Amino acid sequence: MKKNYNESESGAALETATFAGGCFWCVEAAFTLMPGVISVTSGYAGGKEKNPTYEAVVRGQTGHREAVHIVFDPKKTSYETLLDFFWKQINPTDAEGQFVDRGKQYSSAIFYHTPLQKKVAELSKKKIAASKKFETIATEIIPFTTFYEAESYHQNYHEKNQIQYLRYKRGSGREQILKKIWGELPIIKTPDDDIKKKLTPMQYRVTQECSTEPAFENAYWNNKEEGIYVDIVSGEALFSSQDKFDSGTGWPSFNKPLEKKNIIELIDNSQFMKRTQVRSAGGDSHLGHVFDDGPKPSGKRYCMNSAALRFIPVKDLEKEGYGKYKKLFK
């Protein structure tokens, strides 16, 4: 049986908030890394049926919405701050769902737990309306009743299934529409301590501090095996061995990215030079630099740090979740 949450489950010093903002994978991922947030749980709120299943909810059969249940420390963050952040995770004008997901089960809502939360939520909604950024605000403010925890495979989906999550987030239009509505949003990265535990000291210095590893003394500069290279932090696909060439520099070099959308290029004026830095779009990892002295037809040399990459050979693509790239090597 799924856990049925209510306001009494939090400790005396903690408070709870419940928001519906479309796909709960994305809303959970956003709130997980907010300062002061203790836990975020994906689930179903607002319906009357007991112990709803994912299949029934997404078909609109139970009256529930996909939602997240947030436990937070009011000494470190406020309900008002959570609301300000919530608005920037949704399209508040959409009454029929969110982004590619349609239906009431995906529509946005604020479920208030106390009269004070109701008052704060209403004031927050009025502030958004007064900004004149939107013609109408469709997000509902509703009294909290019950919240049922979603199936275990939905919890922390953005961490357990990074590739599928990033693919969904971009494919759903959420990322592009939020950027259009709210402008550039700050990248919420994995907590620094978690990254340090996952990476070697060199990998950390390269990806997080923009260092450069020694030439000819790194894992992939002379790797000739067939496969793809992914971000060591996020796992997003970056380069293919088919586009790798020997640049003579002592670092792995590629004439183009495997997935252009996973690459961000920025002006880098450090080291008394003007260069173009290359970072991963999802993991925000520093990867290396791109130069205009590569081979034809692109004329580009993506000079990468091995420490920022993980190599996945062709034989392991399927089991590692990158099966769609196998066709490149036939």
Catalytic residue annotation: 23, 303
Helix (H) or strand (E) holding 85: helix 79-87
**Ramachandran area for residue 317 (φ above 0: left; ψ -120 to 50: alpha; else beta):** alpha
Question: In Å, how far are 31, 61, 180, 279 from 24, measured between CA atoms?
Answer: 11, 18, 21, 27
Q: What is the dihedral of CA 64, 65, 68, 74, to 10 degrees?
A: -80
Q: Tell me 191's DSSP state.
A: P
Helix/strand number for the chain, H first, E second:
9, 18
Strands (E), the chain: 4-5, 15-20, 37-45, 65-72, 97-98, 101-102, 109-112, 140-143, 147-149, 227-231, 237-240, 244-245, 253-254, 263-268, 275-280, 286-291, 301-304, 309-313
Measured from the Cβ of residue 242, the count of other Cβ atoms closer than 10 Å reads: 14
Strands 147-149 and 101-102: unpaired
Please give the Cα distance from 11 to 293 (Å, whole number).
60
Beta bridge partners of 37: 72
Residues 136, 93: contact at Cβ < 8 Å?
yes
Beta-carbon contacts of 108 under 8 Å, excluding residues fewer than 6 positions away, are 19, 20, 21, 22, 90, 91, 92, 94, 98, 138, 139, 140
- Continuous H helices in 131-247: 157-160, 162-171, 174-182, 192-198, 201-209
Please give the Cα distance from 108 to 71 (Å, whole number).
19
Q: Tell me 253's DSSP state.
A: E
